[in-house]
Amino acid sequence: MKIKINGTEREVNVSPETPLLWVIREELKMTGTKFGCGMGLCGACTVHQNGVAIRSCITPVSSVVGMEITTIEGIGDEQNPHTLQQAWQDLNVPQCGYCQSGQLMSASALLAQNPNPSDSDIVNAMSGNICRCGTYPRIKKAIKVAAENLQASVVEFSPTSQVTVQNPVQSSQAPAQGSYGPTQGPDAPAQGPDALAQR
C-alpha cells in the first residue's frame, strides 16, 4: 500500500494492521518518532494525521491511506527549524530527549489550531504527553515563547495602520487527544497536567 508521509508518497509492503509507528521507524527508517508505551498512553509516538495529533503506536497503517502524515522530520530541521524547535533550543527544553519529538508534534498541532493558547489550553493540549524527566515547565514556557514569536512574525501593518494577524502554521488542526499515563516509582518527578499547571 501507499502512504503519504512528509509530503512524499511511499510504498510499504506490510500487513494492513501494522501500527503506523512500526512502518515509520522500521520500514521508512525515520527514527525521530519514538516508541514508549505502545498503548496510546505516553505520547512519545505522536505524529500528525491531516494536521491532527495522533498516537501512531495504536494507528493501523491501513487507516492512514489517502491521508497526509507528518512526522517530526517533516516540521523542520537544523537549517530551518520550526518556531517551536527554535524555542526548544533557546530554552534548553530537553533533558534525556526521548519524549521530545512527541511533545513537539502535540505542541505544533496546538499552535496550528490555537496560535495564542492560554495556560490551560497548553495544559489540556499537552496532557497526553508524558515526560519522565519532568521538563513540563520548560515545555510550557517554550510553547508560549513560540506562540509570541509566531504572532510577532505575522503581524502586518496595512497602509491604513490596521493590524492583521494570520496563523502561519498550516500543518495541524487540533490538539492531541489521549490518556495521561501513571507516574511510576516513588522517586519519579512530578508529572502531568497538574505539574504543568503549577509552573
Distance CA 143, CA 151 (A): 12
Residue 195 touching ligand FES (CB under 6 A): no
Q: Which one, 105 or 150, has the nearer CB to ligand FES? A: 105
In one-letter notation, the amino acid at residue 159 is P
Shortest separation between residue 15's beta carbon and ligand FES, angstroms: 19
The binder of ligand FES chosen from 51, 94, 115, 175 (CB under 6 A): 94
Q: Which of 36, 51, 117, 175 binds ligand FES (CB under 6 A)?
A: 36
Residue 147 as a binder of ligand FES (CB under 6 A): the answer is no
Does 37 contact ligand FES by CB under 6 A?
Answer: yes
Using CB under 6 A, pick the residue from 97, 120, 153, 184 that binds ligand FES. 97
Within the chain, what is the greatest distance between any pair of CA atoms? 60
Alpha helices per DSSP H over 2-135: 20-22, 83-90, 100-113, 119-126
Measured CA to CA, the distance from residue 42 to residue 68 in angstroms comes to 23
- The CA-based angle 36-7-89, given to 5 degrees, is 55
- Interface segment toward ligand FES; rule CB under 6 A; list 8-16, 37-45, 119-127, 162-170: 37-45
